[in-house]
């Protein structure tokens, strides 16, 4: 099992030629896995959905209430490194689409991105909304305006070409993507179990399509 940024996980799987299932943090890296021939496109399913949001340290010391506030002088903004962290690419899109992309602090993984506001290393990050719930006592969430969100993301899952027990992998994917129990578990941890739930916060956003869809 590999736990890291989606790009690093994919690279590790390709180097070691191991891993039964690939479940990146967004469809961008599943698309790359398809192109690299690492996964079977016919096995791709969606686990849960996420939308981008602003996460700030507890108490919101810079009084950030909107995306526009990130352009204020002295505001330190962090994002995941777009070369290795899927949410980093989404953050760059949001900043560029709204004319706010300048100098930001990069983090090399989702976990390190989530830690930035929790440790007051930055004044705000643009990340998946669930990052707030990783540190609910140390951060606050600022929801973006619906028109500022270009894309909804989701966690895809698929069987790799290195899989040693395809039938077991199929059963696992079926369980995590369709069972009511699994959906409730994801809701418990503040993921959106359906696209309709995510669209309550991003009704105008695009849902990326993969090659196999």
* Structural domain boundaries in the chain: 6-48+154-199, 52-148
**CATH dotted code for 52-148:** 3.40.190.10
pLDDT at 5: 66
Residue 175's contacts (CB-CB under 8 Å, 6 or more residues apart) are 182
What pLDDT does residue 2 have? 46
Could you check whether 6-48+154-199 and 52-148 share the same CATH topology? yes
Among 83, 49, 38, 81, CA closest to 208: 49
| C-alpha span between 185 and 72 (Å, rounded) | 38
Taking residue 174's Cβ as centre, other Cβ atoms within 10 Å add up to: 12
Superfamily designation of domain 6-48+154-199: Periplasmic binding protein-like II (3.40.190.10)
pLDDT by residue for the chain (213 residues), tens only, comes to: 444 567 788 888 999 999 999 998 888 889 999 999 999 999 999 999 999 999 999 999 999 999 889 888 888 888 877 776 667 677 777 777 777 666 576 777 778 888 999 999 999 998 899 999 999 999 999 999 999 898 899 999 999 999 999 999 999 999 999 999 999 999 999 999 999 999 999 999 988 887 654
Q: What is the pLDDT of residue 6?
A: 75
**Residue 39 host element (H or E):** none
Query: How far apart, in Å, are the Cα atoms of 42 and each of 39, 158, 160, 177?
Result: 9, 8, 11, 15
CB atoms within 10 A of CB 184: 10
Q: Are strands 153-159 and 77-80 parallel, antiparallel or unpaired?
A: unpaired
What pLDDT does 211 receive? 61
């Amino acid at each position: 099992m590999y736990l890291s940024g989606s790009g690093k996980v994919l690279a590790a799987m390709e180097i070691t030629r191991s891993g039964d299932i690939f479940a990146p943090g967004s469809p961008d890296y599943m698309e790359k896995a398809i192109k690299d021939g690492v996964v079977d496109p016919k096995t791709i399913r969606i686990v849960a959905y996420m939308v981008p949001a602003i996460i700030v340290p507890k108490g919101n010391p810079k009084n950030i209430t909107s995306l526009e506030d990130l352009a204020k002088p002295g505001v330190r903004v962090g994002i995941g490194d777009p070369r290795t962290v899927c949410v980093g690419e989404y953050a760059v899109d949001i900043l560029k689409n709204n004319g706010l992309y300048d100098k930001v602090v990069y983090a090399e993984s989702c976990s390190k991105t989530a830690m930035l506001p929790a440790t007051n290393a930055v004044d705000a990050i643009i990340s998946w909304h669930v990052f707030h719930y990783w540190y609910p006592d140390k951060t606050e969430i600022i929801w973006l305006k619906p028109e500022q969100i270009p894309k909804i993301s989701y966690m895809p899952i698929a069987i790799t070409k290195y899989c040693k027990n395809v039938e077991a992998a199929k059963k696992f994917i079926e369980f995590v993507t369709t069972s009511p129990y699994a959906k409730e578990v994801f809701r418990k941890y503040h993921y959106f179990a359906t696209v309709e739930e995510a669209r309550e916060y991003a009704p105008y956003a695009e849902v990326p399509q993969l090659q196999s869809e």
